[in-house]
Amino acid sequence: MCGIIGYVGHRSASKILTDGLKCLEYRGYDSVGIAVLNGQNLEIRKDKGMVADVSSGSRFDSLSGSIGIGHSRWATHGGVSKENSHPHSDCTGSIAIIHNGVIENYQELKSSLLSKGHKFASQTDSEVVSHLFEENLKQFPTPLIAFSKTISALEGSYAIVLLSKSSPDVLFLARKNSPLVVGKGAGENFCASDFSALLTYTREFLVLEDSQIATIDRDSIALYDLLLTPKTPSFLTIDWDVQTAERSGHPHFMIKEILEQPDVVSAAFSADVSQVLPLLEKFEKIHIIASGTSYHAGLLFSILLNKYKSGKFANVFIASEYQNQVLPDSNALIFAISQSGETADVLQALRYSTSPHKVCITNTQGSSITRLCSHSIYLNAGPESSVAATKTFLAQLCVIYKLLFGDRYRDSIRSTILASTKHSAKIQEFSKSIITNRFIFFLSRGLCLPLGFEGSLKLKEISYLHSQAYPAGELKHGTLSLIEKGVCALFLAPKTPDATKLFGNLKEVKARGGTIFTLTDDPSFKSESDMSLDIVPQTDPLLYPFSFVVPLQLLAYYSSVSLGINPDRPRNLAKSVTVE
């Protein structure tokens, strides 16, 4: 969702801000803007649209100055328009602010500011911040105190960066429930909503914690709590390199990220799970919490725990429903799975849980989820830029298998993934038939059930084709009424003991005129299919889920590309979903 970038130093701020906004594009946005301060000249340029168009159309490059802020907005309060784009200013044009999150008490603050004569230029919740700071500057002796008073008045979630003529060399930062990091340079400093925008400049980062304030100028970084008590900043080094965050000759990030998965297996299996194994041994009751693709990894985790680890009672929860479905339970071991570590639904579920034992499985060091958990397991998958989760999903599965079975299956999994990446051309061809269908069911059973859900989500997410996943045996309890000529069902059909039942489900669809597609290593499925891809290597039944990971990702990718859609940036979606 919204992206933040800030710079103070000796170089042209507009260039660094524009480049940073390009790096943040993967988060999803609908408008962009920057503010640059040069002495006492504060200029804001912004509009709805993509970074390349707005930055050239509004001549970002013509702004001189070496301190500034930039923002990409994903609309929540107020429509997609130039006025609602960030940065927002005050009544005098002396202040510029950018904000991610939601100011929940903005209406109350706005009414009070309106009664004091403030004029608002947008419909956003964010604009109250600049006017409130303007008001506080009149009342408090220093800009820093005025900033802390402003932040203390806000309710909700925020990552805020403020630039003011009153302190022309300083950026003011604050964070609560929305990520904000400071990047440390030499004679220059940076801030951003995530590391990836700053990897060209620095690897040393300070991750702001909730209810902290920071100021950065070109030579120093100061950290405070809301009462302005100084705090000692502790920096972490991020070892992601810029290249892994670039497309490296591939047409899209998604295909690059799919193809680098053989290496992801090795990296994910190197995760340190030693602190978590004793907990997994000890606890009977396990709650797994996640959203979207991570939920599908969690679903497989829960099936494996219940079926292959005796004495375990695992439940998987869609994060946004966790509070609606259980009472807080301090006797449950919690696993929260989130590649970004910033998914608001997951964070909220973790806050709700009273368990002292919370383990997160995440790809992002220093992310909010790590602060809410007693233990963190890192996926080591490197940066994932495409909105569609691919390599982080595989890494999640690898970490789950490592937790349950140690390194026993690492090499077989790697071979399966490597073999699957070689089937690109066949899957591309297959996708041409898939996209001619108006409705596609993904049907599967057993350990491959979560893969059916994931394949369907991936397809609809980036190709906009209507698709739905079902446990194949459930179809006859209602959904079978939708099957008729022209409706397509894709079966994930590994040669397992469950294959006979799945085969029966296939016949049910076929008898009603449905078109049958299969991904299978089983000849009987092949002969009953309208189209079949024999790209599923025979393997240990426990490992069949891995046989489908890459084919389903490639199927979604090529469907998207054939339909002329940019798979990296599906409409309406964001990489990091920081609102509930």
Interaction site with ligand M6R (CB under 6 A)? 291-294, 338-340, 343, 346, 387-389, 457-458, 461, 577
454 vs 410: CA distance, rounded Å? 22
Helix%, strand%, coil% for the chain, nearest 5: 40, 25, 35
Give the nearer residue to ligand M6R in terms of CB position, either 547 or 553.
553
Give the nearer residue to ligand M6R in terms of CB position, either 202 or 339.
339
CB of 31 to ligand M6R, least distance (A): 21
CB of 344 to ligand M6R, least distance (A): 9
Give the nearer residue to ligand M6R in terms of CB position, either 531 or 579.
579
Nearest Cα to 539, choosing from 421, 443, 452, 412? 412
One-letter amino acid at 545 equals P
Check: CB of residue 556 under 8 Å from CB of residue 459: yes
CB of 336 to ligand M6R, least distance (A): 9
SS3 category, 520? strand
User: How far from 119 is each of 75, 146, 154, CA to CA, in Å?
Assistant: 21, 20, 19
Contacts for 133-140: CB closer than 8 Å, 24+ residues apart: 133/90, 133/95, 133/97, 133/162, 133/164, 134/90, 134/91, 134/92, 134/94, 134/95, 137/164, 137/166
One-letter amino acid at 3 equals G
User: 2 an active-site residue?
Assistant: yes
Sheet hosting strand 313-318, strand order edge to edge: 313-318, 285-290, 333-338, 358-362, 375-378
Helices (H), 315-364: 322-325, 344-352
CB of 534 to ligand M6R, least distance (A): 27
399 vs 421: CA distance, rounded Å? 20
Active-site residue (options: 2, 23, 191, 448): 2
CB of 347 to ligand M6R, least distance (A): 9
CB of 316 to ligand M6R, least distance (A): 14
Helices (H), 180-291: 253-259, 261-269, 277-282
For residue 571, give the DSSP letter.
T
Give the nearer residue to ligand M6R in terms of CB position, either 135 or 384.
384
CB of 157 to ligand M6R, least distance (A): 16
Give the nearer residue to ligand M6R in terms of CB position, either 393 or 470.
393
Give the nearer residue to ligand M6R in terms of CB position, either 6 or 179.
179
Nearest Cα to 6, choosing from 67, 59, 74, 95? 67
SS3 category, 197? helix
Check: CB of residue 536 under 8 Å from CB of residue 548: yes
Nearest residue to ligand M6R, using CB? Answer: 292
Give the nearer residue to ligand M6R in terms of CB position, either 16 or 254.
254
Active-site residue (options: 22, 110, 256, 575): 575
Active site residues: 2, 575
